[in-house]
């Protein structure tokens, strides 16, 4: 009984932090592009600004995560990152020039992107310590994304997209307050051993997995970067954009809950195959629809695409990557899933959207998801229908 009374406040504060931090994700992925559009930037310029984040995160995710492993703290690193975000968002609120915003947002991304792999790391470590499924905490990120997607849409409809940065400061400040009460979760060794990471990366099947994830992520990041622009192009208001984000985040929740209780019954490769196929169908429908309300309906597929993929991929990684390399391992995964794919989708995707239009843009996203489907399928049939995660991924100490 005493264990429950000591665990509950810790889990509660971590859930509150997870709930809030995904509000900043809503802003950066969906409402920052509208802020740029309101300043008169072209689609290519918006794509470039989006691509800067993944480019910076290639370095920042790894650096901050190695610092976390080396100095045995996640909480202190998160505090530094959130304070940096708030300071740089304040500067962005007073900027209107494309060159100045490009410079400031570059530094902002250095503090923004590492928050998510580190928050996932502290969630996984805390859940493991207390014998609960990590989804029971991570689920609050979906609740938070849904809540803030709707709230921000309503707020910006009232005050205008020009005040986006002030809303961002308020939400980041709230997350900063919550993280103060979260218990730190150091890793199990005192010093980072980079040779261990190299041993993991030399596994061919891990590289295969990351390659399939990269292809799937290209379509996901293309959609993430330009869905708000697509909705605006079809006449949607900030309000409707908020409802589209709400539809995607709410659809995750039942999938997360189901897989947290019953996911172990299913093999990982078939789940990844299913997610890839549904991603391809989703992007095909996004390219074919000519209605903002059609996009709103299609966004409900987010749960069975991203939801299945996310839980399955994390399940695989937590088994394959040793505890002492968890923060860095999550950073490597984020580099593939978010950074490299976001860099490509932002730079080339912005030009494609501007020059060719929305339909070819989404058909390209569909093609990338189809390549991931073929990659996962080839491994599934090579290993046989009874296969689960690739056994050679396991790190030998």
Name every residue whose Cβ is closer than 8 Å to that of residue 297 and which is 6 or more positions away in sequence: 247
- Could you tell me the mean pLDDT of each successive run of 10 residues in the chain, 397 residues long? 53 90 85 86 84 80 78 88 94 89 91 87 82 82 85 84 88 93 65 56 74 89 84 83 82 83 81 92 92 89 88 78 66 75 78 86 93 87 57 42
Handedness of CA 266, 276, 53, 226 (dihedral sign): negative
| Pairwise CA distance, residues 24 & 326, whole Å | 24
| Pairwise CA distance, residues 168 & 21, whole Å | 10
Smallest CA-to-CA distance from 62 within 290, 321, 334 is with: 334
For residue 275, give Cα distances in angstroms to 52, 271, 312, 354: 28, 6, 10, 29
pLDDT value, residue 170: 93
| Pairwise CA distance, residues 220 & 223, whole Å | 5
pLDDT value, residue 336: 80
pLDDT value, residue 58: 75
Q: What is the pLDDT of residues 338-392, one digit of tens each?
A: 777 877 777 787 788 888 888 999 999 999 999 999 988 887 777 655 555 444 4
Smallest CA-to-CA distance from 231 within 170, 314, 290 is with: 290
The answer to whether 18 touches 144, Cβ cutoff 8 Å, is yes
How many CB atoms lie under 10 A from the CB of residue 36?
24
pLDDT value, residue 6: 45
pLDDT value, residue 388: 52
| Pairwise CA distance, residues 76 & 240, whole Å | 37
Q: What is the pLDDT of residues 225-238, one digit of tens each?
A: 788 888 888 888 87
Ramachandran region, residue 183 (left: φ > 0; alpha: ψ -120 to 50; beta: rest) = beta
């Amino acid at each position: 009984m005493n264990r429950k009374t000591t665990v509950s406040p810790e889990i509660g504060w971590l859930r509150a932090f997870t709930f809030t931090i995904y509000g900043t994700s809503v802003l950066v992925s969906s409402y920052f592009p509208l802020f740029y559009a309101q300043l008169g930037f072209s689609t290519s310029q918006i794509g470039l600004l989006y691509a800067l984040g993944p480019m910076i995160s290639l370095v920042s995710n790894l650096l901050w995560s190695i610092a976390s492993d080396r100095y045995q703290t996640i909480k202190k690193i998160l505090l530094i990152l959130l304070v940096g975000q708030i300071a740089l968002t304040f500067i962005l609120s007073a900027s209107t020039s494309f060159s100045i915003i490009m410079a400031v947002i570059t530094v902002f991304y250095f503090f923004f992107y590492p928050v998510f792999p580190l928050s996932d790391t502290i969630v996984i470590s805390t859940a493991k310590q207390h014998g609960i499924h990590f989804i029971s905490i991570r689920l609050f990120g979906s609740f938070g994304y849904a809540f803030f997607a709707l709230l921000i849409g309503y707020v910006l409809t009232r005050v205008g997209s020009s005040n986006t940065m002030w809303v961002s400061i308020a939400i980041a400040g709230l997350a900063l307050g919550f993280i103060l009460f979260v218990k730190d979760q150091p890793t199990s060794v005192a010093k980072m051993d980079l040779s261990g990471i190299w041993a993991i990366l030399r596994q061919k099947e891990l590289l295969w997995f990351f390659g399939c994830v990269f292809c799937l992520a290209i379509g996901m990041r293309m959609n993430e970067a330009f869905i708000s622009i697509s909705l605006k192009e079809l006449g949607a208001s900030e309000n409707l954009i908020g409802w589209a984000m709400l539809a995607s985040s709410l659809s995750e929740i039942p999938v997360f809950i189901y897989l947290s209780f019953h996911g172990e019954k299913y093999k990982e490769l078939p789940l990844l195959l299913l997610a890839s196929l549904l991603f391809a169908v989703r992007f095909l429908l996004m390219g074919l629809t000519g209605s903002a309300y059609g996009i709103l309906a299609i966004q409900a597929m987010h749960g069975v695409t991203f939801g299945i993929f996310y839980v399955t991929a994390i399940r695989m990684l937590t088994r394959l990557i040793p505890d002492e390399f968890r923060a860095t391992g999550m950073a490597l995964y984020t580099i593939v899933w978010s950074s490299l794919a976001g860099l490509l989708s932002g730079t080339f995707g912005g030009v494609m959207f501007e020059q060719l239009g929305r339909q070819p843009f989404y058909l390209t996203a569909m093609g990338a998801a189809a390549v991931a489907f073929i990659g996962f399928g080839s491994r599934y049939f090579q290993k046989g229908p009874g296969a689960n995660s690739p056994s050679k991924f396991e790190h030998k100490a």
